[in-house]
Copies of this chain bind each other. A is one copy, B any other.
Protein backbone atom coordinates (compact mmCIF):
# COMPACT_ATOMS: atom_id res chain seq x y z
CA UNK A 1 0.00 0.00 0.00
CA UNK A 2 1.15 3.49 -0.83
CA UNK A 3 -0.30 6.72 0.53
CA UNK A 4 0.11 9.68 -1.80
CA UNK A 5 -0.26 13.05 -0.07
CA UNK A 6 -1.70 16.15 -1.72
CA UNK A 7 0.85 18.74 -2.86
CA UNK A 8 -0.42 21.15 -0.21
CA UNK A 9 -0.31 18.59 2.63
CA UNK A 10 1.52 19.85 5.72
CA UNK A 11 4.12 18.11 7.84
CA UNK A 12 1.54 17.32 10.50
CA UNK A 13 -0.70 15.62 7.93
CA UNK A 14 2.17 13.34 6.98
CA UNK A 15 2.88 12.74 10.65
CA UNK A 16 -0.72 11.74 11.31
CA UNK A 17 -0.75 9.21 8.48
CA UNK A 18 2.49 7.68 9.72
CA UNK A 19 1.10 7.34 13.23
CA UNK A 20 -1.99 5.61 11.97
CA UNK A 21 0.12 3.17 9.94
CA UNK A 22 2.24 2.32 12.95
CA UNK A 23 -0.82 2.01 15.17
CA UNK A 24 -2.03 -0.68 12.79
CA UNK A 25 1.22 -2.58 13.38
CA UNK A 26 2.90 -1.65 10.06
CA UNK A 27 5.91 0.46 9.25
CA UNK A 28 5.66 3.86 7.55
CA UNK A 29 8.20 5.11 5.03
CA UNK A 30 7.60 8.79 4.21
CA UNK A 31 9.39 9.69 0.97
CA UNK A 32 9.31 13.43 0.28
CA UNK A 33 9.34 14.35 -3.42
CA UNK A 34 9.70 17.65 -5.19
CA UNK A 35 5.92 17.98 -5.62
CA UNK A 36 4.47 15.92 -2.85
CA UNK A 37 5.18 13.24 -0.30
CA UNK A 38 4.41 9.55 -0.70
CA UNK A 39 4.31 7.17 2.25
CA UNK A 40 5.15 3.52 1.71
CA UNK A 41 3.71 0.91 4.05
CA UNK A 42 5.65 -2.26 4.80
CA UNK A 43 5.32 -4.95 7.43
CA UNK A 44 3.54 -8.22 7.98
CA UNK A 45 1.11 -8.15 5.07
CA UNK A 46 -2.34 -8.19 6.58
CA UNK A 47 -5.14 -6.54 4.62
CA UNK A 48 -5.49 -2.76 4.81
CA UNK A 49 -8.42 -0.85 3.48
CA UNK A 50 -7.53 2.19 1.33
CA UNK A 51 -10.58 3.92 2.76
CA UNK A 52 -8.99 3.98 6.20
CA UNK A 53 -6.48 6.49 4.91
CA UNK A 54 -8.28 8.33 2.18
CA UNK A 55 -10.43 10.12 4.74
CA UNK A 56 -7.42 11.62 6.56
CA UNK A 57 -6.53 15.29 5.92
CA UNK A 58 -3.92 15.87 3.22
CA UNK A 59 -4.23 12.40 1.66
CA UNK A 60 -4.67 12.38 -2.12
CA UNK A 61 -5.05 8.64 -2.59
CA UNK A 62 -4.14 5.21 -1.23
CA UNK A 63 -2.84 2.81 -3.87
CA UNK A 64 -2.36 -0.94 -3.72
CA UNK A 65 1.12 -1.60 -5.11
CA UNK A 66 1.24 -4.53 -7.46
CA UNK A 67 4.98 -5.09 -7.85
CA UNK A 68 6.86 -7.11 -5.24
CA UNK A 69 9.13 -4.09 -4.71
CA UNK A 70 7.58 -0.99 -3.30
CA UNK A 71 9.98 1.59 -1.91
CA UNK A 72 12.38 1.36 -4.85
CA UNK A 73 9.53 1.71 -7.32
CA UNK A 74 8.61 4.68 -9.46
CA UNK A 75 5.04 4.00 -8.43
CA UNK A 76 6.04 5.21 -4.98
CA UNK A 77 8.32 8.03 -6.04
CA UNK A 78 8.24 9.24 -9.59
CA UNK A 79 11.20 11.65 -9.51
CA UNK A 80 14.76 10.36 -9.85
CA UNK A 81 16.43 10.01 -6.47
CA UNK A 82 19.46 12.20 -5.86
CA UNK A 83 21.87 10.49 -3.50
CA UNK A 84 23.97 12.88 -1.50
CA UNK A 85 27.46 11.55 -0.74
CA UNK A 86 29.93 13.09 1.69
CA UNK A 87 29.81 15.43 4.68
CA UNK A 88 26.24 16.61 5.20
CA UNK A 89 27.30 19.98 6.58
CA UNK A 90 28.71 20.96 3.20
CA UNK A 91 26.59 21.98 0.31
CA UNK A 92 27.38 19.50 -2.44
CA UNK A 93 27.94 20.37 -6.05
CA UNK A 94 28.43 24.05 -5.43
CA UNK A 95 31.66 25.86 -6.23
CA UNK A 96 33.72 26.60 -3.15
CA UNK A 97 31.97 23.83 -1.30
CA UNK A 98 34.08 20.82 -2.09
CA UNK A 99 33.65 17.49 -0.39
CA UNK A 100 30.10 16.55 -1.21
CA UNK A 101 28.70 15.03 -4.35
CA UNK A 102 25.26 14.16 -5.65
CA UNK A 103 24.81 10.86 -7.46
CA UNK A 104 21.99 10.87 -9.99
CA UNK A 105 22.21 14.56 -10.87
CA UNK A 106 23.38 16.06 -14.18
CA UNK A 107 27.07 15.39 -13.50
CA UNK A 108 28.07 11.80 -14.18
CA UNK A 109 29.37 9.99 -11.12
CA UNK A 110 32.90 8.82 -11.78
CA UNK A 111 34.39 6.46 -9.21
CA UNK A 112 37.92 5.29 -9.96
CA UNK A 113 40.83 3.62 -8.26
CA UNK A 114 42.52 0.28 -7.78
CA UNK A 115 40.73 -2.99 -7.11
CA UNK A 116 42.43 -3.28 -3.73
CA UNK A 117 44.36 -0.86 -1.54
CA UNK A 118 47.83 -2.37 -1.54
CA UNK A 119 49.95 0.34 0.06
CA UNK A 120 49.89 3.99 1.05
CA UNK A 121 51.96 4.90 -1.95
CA UNK A 122 49.92 2.90 -4.45
CA UNK A 123 46.64 4.39 -3.20
CA UNK A 124 47.85 7.98 -3.10
CA UNK A 125 49.43 7.73 -6.54
CA UNK A 126 46.30 6.23 -8.05
CA UNK A 127 44.11 8.81 -6.31
CA UNK A 128 46.16 11.71 -7.55
CA UNK A 129 45.90 10.38 -11.10
CA UNK A 130 42.16 9.85 -11.09
CA UNK A 131 41.44 13.13 -9.32
CA UNK A 132 43.36 15.07 -11.96
CA UNK A 133 41.50 13.26 -14.72
CA UNK A 134 38.14 14.24 -13.21
CA UNK A 135 37.00 11.51 -10.83
CA UNK A 136 35.17 12.76 -7.73
CA UNK A 137 35.12 9.47 -5.84
CA UNK A 138 37.87 6.98 -5.12
CA UNK A 139 37.40 3.23 -5.02
CA UNK A 140 39.70 0.73 -3.32
CA UNK A 141 39.04 -2.43 -1.37
CA UNK A 142 40.36 -2.89 2.15
CA UNK A 143 38.37 -6.10 2.63
CA UNK A 144 38.32 -8.19 -0.54
CA UNK A 145 35.98 -11.12 -1.13
CA UNK A 146 38.17 -13.52 -3.08
CA UNK A 147 37.26 -16.82 -4.69
CA UNK A 148 40.30 -18.47 -3.08
CA UNK A 149 41.09 -18.41 0.63
CA UNK A 150 44.74 -18.23 -0.38
CA UNK A 151 44.44 -15.02 -2.40
CA UNK A 152 45.23 -11.56 -1.04
CA UNK A 153 42.26 -10.62 1.15
CA UNK A 154 43.01 -6.91 1.53
CA UNK A 155 44.87 -4.86 4.12
CA UNK A 156 41.86 -4.64 6.42
CA UNK A 157 41.82 -1.76 8.90
CA UNK A 158 45.17 -0.52 7.65
CA UNK A 159 43.60 -0.22 4.21
CA UNK A 160 40.76 1.86 5.62
CA UNK A 161 43.23 4.22 7.23
CA UNK A 162 45.02 4.64 3.94
CA UNK A 163 41.67 5.46 2.34
CA UNK A 164 41.03 8.11 4.98
CA UNK A 165 44.38 9.60 4.16
CA UNK A 166 43.49 9.58 0.46
CA UNK A 167 40.38 11.59 1.27
CA UNK A 168 42.31 14.12 3.33
CA UNK A 169 45.02 14.45 0.71
CA UNK A 170 42.86 14.64 -2.40
CA UNK A 171 39.33 15.58 -1.35
CA UNK A 172 38.06 12.46 -3.15
CA UNK A 173 35.12 10.72 -1.49
CA UNK A 174 35.71 7.10 -0.55
CA UNK A 175 33.79 4.08 -1.84
CA UNK A 176 34.82 0.81 -0.23
CA UNK A 177 33.36 -2.60 0.32
CA UNK A 178 31.85 -4.02 3.49
CA UNK A 179 31.68 -7.78 3.68
CA UNK A 180 29.54 -8.68 6.68
CA UNK A 181 27.36 -7.01 9.33
CA UNK A 182 30.09 -6.89 11.98
CA UNK A 183 32.65 -5.59 9.51
CA UNK A 184 30.20 -2.82 8.60
CA UNK A 185 30.64 -1.27 12.05
CA UNK A 186 34.24 -0.59 11.16
CA UNK A 187 33.88 0.27 7.48
CA UNK A 188 31.16 2.86 7.98
CA UNK A 189 33.53 4.91 10.14
CA UNK A 190 35.79 5.40 7.13
CA UNK A 191 33.72 5.13 3.97
CA UNK A 192 31.58 7.78 2.31
CA UNK A 193 29.78 5.06 0.36
CA UNK A 194 29.39 1.46 1.56
CA UNK A 195 29.83 -0.96 -1.31
CA UNK A 196 27.97 -4.29 -1.27
CA UNK A 197 29.62 -6.63 -3.76
CA UNK A 198 27.97 -8.84 -6.35
CA UNK A 199 28.55 -12.01 -4.31
CA UNK A 200 26.74 -10.40 -1.38
CA UNK A 201 23.76 -9.04 -3.31
CA UNK A 202 21.53 -11.55 -1.55
CA UNK A 203 23.39 -11.57 1.76
CA UNK A 204 20.27 -10.34 3.48
CA UNK A 205 21.93 -9.89 6.87
CA UNK A 206 24.38 -7.48 5.29
CA UNK A 207 21.62 -5.70 3.35
CA UNK A 208 19.69 -5.15 6.57
CA UNK A 209 22.81 -3.88 8.33
CA UNK A 210 23.66 -1.31 5.65
CA UNK A 211 19.98 -0.43 5.63
CA UNK A 212 20.48 0.83 9.17
CA UNK A 213 23.57 2.84 8.24
CA UNK A 214 23.54 6.59 7.62
CA UNK A 215 25.96 6.17 4.71
CA UNK A 216 24.81 5.69 1.11
CA UNK A 217 25.08 2.19 -0.29
CA UNK A 218 26.48 1.11 -3.66
CA UNK A 219 24.73 -2.17 -4.44
CA UNK A 220 26.19 -4.31 -7.20
CA UNK A 221 24.02 -6.66 -9.22
CA UNK A 222 24.60 -10.33 -8.44
CA UNK A 223 26.24 -12.52 -11.02
CA UNK A 224 22.98 -14.14 -12.05
CA UNK A 225 20.42 -11.79 -10.57
CA UNK A 226 17.27 -10.99 -12.49
CA UNK A 227 16.17 -7.39 -12.54
CA UNK A 228 13.48 -8.18 -10.01
CA UNK A 229 15.93 -9.82 -7.61
CA UNK A 230 18.24 -6.84 -7.99
CA UNK A 231 15.49 -4.38 -7.11
CA UNK A 232 14.32 -6.59 -4.24
CA UNK A 233 17.85 -6.53 -2.80
CA UNK A 234 17.71 -2.73 -2.88
CA UNK A 235 14.27 -2.93 -1.30
CA UNK A 236 15.83 -4.67 1.72
CA UNK A 237 18.05 -1.63 2.26
CA UNK A 238 15.25 0.89 1.84
CA UNK A 239 12.89 -1.15 3.99
CA UNK A 240 15.32 -0.64 6.89
CA UNK A 241 15.17 3.11 6.41
CA UNK A 242 18.23 3.87 4.26
CA UNK A 243 16.88 5.35 1.03
CA UNK A 244 20.32 6.23 -0.32
CA UNK A 245 20.99 3.31 -2.60
CA UNK A 246 23.04 3.52 -5.78
CA UNK A 247 22.64 0.51 -8.06
CA UNK A 248 25.47 -0.84 -10.19
CA UNK A 249 25.50 -3.19 -13.21
CA UNK A 250 28.75 -5.20 -13.32
CA UNK A 251 28.10 -7.92 -15.83
CA UNK A 252 26.26 -11.19 -15.54
CA UNK A 253 27.32 -14.76 -16.03
CA UNK A 254 26.48 -16.33 -19.36
CA UNK A 255 27.95 -18.92 -21.75
CA UNK A 256 29.90 -16.20 -23.57
CA UNK A 257 33.64 -16.51 -23.03
CA UNK A 258 35.19 -13.55 -24.84
CA UNK A 259 34.68 -11.44 -21.72
CA UNK A 260 34.75 -12.51 -18.07
CA UNK A 261 31.14 -11.46 -17.63
CA UNK A 262 28.52 -10.23 -20.08
CA UNK A 263 27.80 -6.57 -19.43
CA UNK A 264 24.02 -6.16 -19.63
CA UNK A 265 23.55 -2.54 -20.62
CA UNK A 266 19.85 -3.03 -21.31
CA UNK A 267 19.32 -3.17 -17.57
CA UNK A 268 20.02 0.58 -17.37
CA UNK A 269 16.88 1.76 -19.20
CA UNK A 270 14.97 -1.09 -17.56
CA UNK A 271 15.91 0.17 -14.08
CA UNK A 272 15.20 3.76 -15.07
CA UNK A 273 11.68 2.78 -16.07
CA UNK A 274 10.85 0.86 -12.90
CA UNK A 275 12.83 2.62 -10.19
CA UNK A 276 13.82 6.09 -9.04
CA UNK A 277 17.26 4.93 -7.92
CA UNK A 278 20.41 5.93 -9.83
CA UNK A 279 22.45 3.23 -11.53
CA UNK A 280 26.12 3.10 -12.45
CA UNK A 281 28.09 0.70 -14.65
CA UNK A 282 31.29 -1.14 -13.77
CA UNK A 283 32.99 -1.81 -17.13
CA UNK A 284 36.07 -3.29 -15.40
CA UNK A 285 34.38 -6.29 -13.78
CA UNK A 286 31.75 -6.15 -16.48
CA UNK A 287 34.26 -7.20 -19.12
CA UNK A 288 37.34 -8.35 -17.19
CA UNK A 289 39.56 -7.14 -20.02
CA UNK A 290 41.45 -3.88 -20.09
CA UNK A 291 40.96 -3.26 -23.81
CA UNK A 292 37.18 -3.49 -23.51
CA UNK A 293 36.85 -0.95 -20.68
CA UNK A 294 36.94 2.23 -22.76
CA UNK A 295 34.45 1.20 -25.47
CA UNK A 296 32.02 -0.18 -22.90
CA UNK A 297 32.38 2.98 -20.80
CA UNK A 298 31.33 5.03 -23.81
CA UNK A 299 28.38 2.69 -24.34
CA UNK A 300 27.37 2.88 -20.66
CA UNK A 301 27.20 6.66 -20.78
CA UNK A 302 25.36 6.58 -24.09
CA UNK A 303 22.75 4.15 -22.81
CA UNK A 304 21.93 6.51 -19.95
CA UNK A 305 23.84 5.28 -16.89
CA UNK A 306 24.38 7.80 -14.09
CA UNK A 307 28.09 7.12 -14.03
CA UNK A 308 30.92 4.62 -13.92
CA UNK A 309 33.05 2.78 -11.42
CA UNK A 310 36.37 1.97 -13.05
CA UNK A 311 39.53 0.20 -11.94
CA UNK A 312 42.67 2.26 -12.41
CA UNK A 313 46.06 1.19 -11.08
CA UNK A 314 49.38 3.04 -11.31
CA UNK A 315 51.08 -0.24 -12.31
CA UNK A 316 48.44 -2.77 -13.42
CA UNK A 317 51.07 -5.42 -14.06
CA UNK A 318 52.09 -5.41 -10.42
CA UNK A 319 48.54 -5.35 -9.01
CA UNK A 320 47.73 -7.92 -6.30
CA UNK A 321 44.24 -8.43 -7.75
CA UNK A 322 42.47 -7.90 -11.05
CA UNK A 323 45.44 -6.18 -12.70
CA UNK A 324 44.47 -7.48 -16.15
CA UNK A 325 41.29 -5.40 -16.09
CA UNK A 326 42.74 -2.22 -14.54
CA UNK A 327 43.43 0.80 -16.73
CA UNK A 328 46.77 2.54 -16.89
CA UNK A 329 46.42 6.14 -15.62
CA UNK A 330 46.80 7.55 -19.13
CA UNK A 331 44.05 5.25 -20.40
CA UNK A 332 41.76 6.65 -17.73
CA UNK A 333 42.42 10.15 -19.02
CA UNK A 334 41.47 8.99 -22.50
CA UNK A 335 38.32 7.45 -21.10
CA UNK A 336 37.37 10.66 -19.32
CA UNK A 337 37.84 12.62 -22.51
CA UNK A 338 35.69 10.26 -24.57
CA UNK A 339 32.84 10.04 -22.12
CA UNK A 340 32.83 13.81 -21.61
CA UNK A 341 31.99 14.20 -25.29
CA UNK A 342 29.24 11.59 -25.17
CA UNK A 343 27.84 13.00 -21.93
CA UNK A 344 27.31 16.32 -23.63
CA UNK A 345 25.26 14.69 -26.39
CA UNK A 346 22.83 13.19 -23.91
CA UNK A 347 22.60 16.20 -21.64
CA UNK A 348 24.96 15.13 -18.88
CA UNK A 349 28.18 16.69 -17.68
CA UNK A 350 31.51 15.52 -16.29
CA UNK A 351 34.05 17.29 -14.13
CA UNK A 352 36.18 17.58 -17.24
CA UNK A 353 33.46 19.27 -19.25
Q: Does A92 contact B (CB under 8 A)?
A: no
Contact A266-B258, Cβ < 8 Å, known A149-B239, A300-B299? yes
B147–A229 touching, CB < 8 Å: yes
Residues 297-337 of A contacting B (Cβ, < 8 Å): 298-304
Assess the A254–B265 pair: CB atoms within 8 A. no
From B182, B224, B345, contact of A253 by CB (8 A): B224
Identify which of residues 267-302 in chain A touch chain B, using a CB-to-CB cut-off of 8 Å.
Answer: 267-270, 273, 286-287, 291-292, 295-296, 298-302
A180 on the interface (CB 8 Å rule)? yes
Q: Which of B205, B296, B303 contacts A180 (CB 8 A)?
A: B205
Indicate if A68 sits at the interface (CB-CB under 8 A): yes
In the assembled complex, the Cα of A199 lies from the Cα of B222 at a distance in Å of 10
Q: Which residue of B lies closest to A237 (CB)?
A: B149
Q: Does residue A203 face the partner (Cβ distance < 8 Å to B)?
A: yes
- Structural contact, A299 and B265, CB atoms closer than 8 A: yes
Instruction: Identify the interface centre among A205, A264, A266, A346: most chain B CB within 10 Å of its CB.
Output: A266
- Say if the beta carbon of A91 comes within 8 Å of chain B: no
Question: Which residues on the B side are within 8 Å of A34 (C-beta)?
Answer: none
How far is B295's CA from A301's CA once the two chains are assembled, in angstroms?
Answer: 10
Q: With the chains together, A254 CA to B223 CA distance in Å?
A: 12
Is there an interface contact between A287 and B266, defined as CB atoms closer than 8 Å?
Answer: yes
- CB-CB under 8 A for A262 and B254, given A182-B182, A203-B199, A296-B303: yes
Q: Determine whether the beta carbon of A148 is less than 8 Å from that of B232.
A: yes
In Å, the complex CA distance between A239 and B68 comes to 40
Task: Given A149-B236, A180-B206, A257-B226, decide whether A264 and B266 contact each other with a Cβ distance below 8 A.
Answer: no
Check if A226 sits within 8 Å of B256, measured CB to CB. Answer: yes
What residue in chain B is nearest A45 (Cβ atoms)?
A: B150
* A235-B149 Cα distance, complex, nearest whole Å: 7
Q: A254-B255, A299-B303, A303-B295 are in contact. Are A235 and B345 (CB under 8 A)?
A: no
Q: State A82–B50 Cα separation when bound (angstroms).
A: 58
User: Does A263 make an interface contact (CB < 8 A)?
Assistant: yes
3 cross-chain pairs, A with B, having the tightest CB-CB distances, nearest first: A180-B205, A224-B224, A302-B302
Q: Could you name 12 residue pairs across A and B whose Cβ atoms are closer than 8 Å?
A: A68-B148, A149-B204, A150-B239, A180-B205, A181-B181, A199-B202, A200-B202, A203-B203, A226-B258, A254-B262, A296-B303, A298-B304
Given pairs A147-B228, A273-B291, 11 additional interface contacts (CB within 8 A): A149-B236, A149-B239, A150-B239, A179-B205, A180-B203, A254-B255, A258-B267, A263-B266, A269-B292, A269-B296, A299-B300
